[in-house]
Homo-oligomer: A and B are copies of this chain.
Amino acid sequence: MSVLALAGGVGGAKLANGLAAILPPETLTVAVNTGDDFEHMGLPISPDIDSVTYALAGMNNVELGWGVAGESWAFMDAMARLHGETWFRLGDRDLATHILRRQLLRQGNLSAATDDIRRRLGIAQKIVPMSDDPVRSIVSTDQGDLAFQDYFVRYQCTPRFLSIRFEGAEQARPSVGLLAAFDDPGLEAIIFCPSNPLLSIAPILAIPGVRERIASRRLPCVALSPFIARQAVKGPAAKIMAELGIAATAAAVAAHYGDLIDGLVIDSADENPIADEGATLFATDILMRDSADQQRLAREVLDFARRLT
């Protein structure tokens, strides 16, 4: 029996890490959003793939919430002295991943590079990009269209969020690894990690064939709300929802995913949003403070999914 988790950045990486800890390694595939990917200083940056990879390698930076543990910033200091670009912080250790990925991308696609890097780091679980075709999340704001990292990092999410589109998604194909996970006869459950529904999960669902494969499944699909008490645990989801006139609640998540999911996992502190939605509810403590929380939540989510079978 195997599990497919769809993940964005930090929240996705945490649950993926919990799932990795409790499942036989060969049974877990984490399919990751690449809509945030971009080229910076000539290097191919895949923020969400790296968040998942670093978490599963046990080398993620818990203090920062992103990047590599024990990170240092001498490269950025030197780049500042050279009057180079410094708005996107590339740590000394993180740089090794990007430089290696650039080398690997000369010989193969992003799937191959991602797989090579996770093997080099001793990760036994499969990490696959949602697609090997370029998909770029573009945020329409009151200050014009912005590439995702410009909106997210350079402008710190301050422009007013109007809408998001995923350029290239219509022409993109799901990665071979994602298709293999869908087609695995042993697939037991599909989990939408507690990543931003609009920014991180939506790009994955925007790739032709993904939503259809999920809709036609014969196994449970469970989503986790990324909100607790009308706040995102991390990131700009709540601000964006507010600018769209939507409350950052489990109800909004349930409405967003609609009948694509069978079950919704929300925080115990939140109101039950399920009355007027189709999904079954499971309420628990969804805040993942540490790896014990990650494993407990992963176990609860899998048990919940199995009950939905």
Contact = CB atoms under 8 A, between A and B. Distances in A.
Interface in A56-76: 59, 68, 70-72, 74-76
10 contacts: A41-B102, A74-B92, A78-B94, A78-B96, A78-B97, A79-B96, A81-B121, A82-B120, A92-B95, A95-B95
A74 B82 CA distance: 20
A25 to B, nearest CB: 19
Contact of A100 (B76, B79, B95): B79
Contacts of A81: 59, 96, 120-121
A93 B74 contact: yes
Interface string A275-309: 00000000000000000000000000000000000
Interface string A92-125: 1111110110110010000000000100110000
Given A74-B72, A120-B83, A41 B103 contact: yes
> How many copies of the chain does the oligomer comprise?
2
A42 interface: yes
Interface of A: 41-43, 59, 68, 70-72, 74-79, 81-84, 91-97, 99-100, 102-103, 106, 117, 120-121
Contact of A99 (B41, B91, B96, B100): B41
Contact of A96 (B43, B68, B72, B82): B82
A246 to B, nearest CB: 40
Dominant secondary structure of chain A at its interface with chain B: helix
A82 B95 contact: no
Nearest to A81: B121
Nearest to A73: B92
B42 A99 contact: yes
A100 B121 contact: no
A96 B84 CA distance: 9
Contacts of A82: 96-97, 100, 117, 120-121
Nearest to A119: B83
A112 to B, nearest CB: 15
A225 B95 CA distance: 41
A82 B97 CA distance: 8
Contacts of A99: 41-43, 79, 84
A174 B251 CA distance: 70
A71 B41 CA distance: 21
Contact of A92 (B70, B84, B92): B92
A94 B84 CA distance: 13
A95 B83 contact: no
Nearest to A99: B41
A100 B86 CA distance: 12
A121 B79 CA distance: 11
B78 A93 contact: yes
Contacts of A92: 72, 74-75, 78, 92, 95
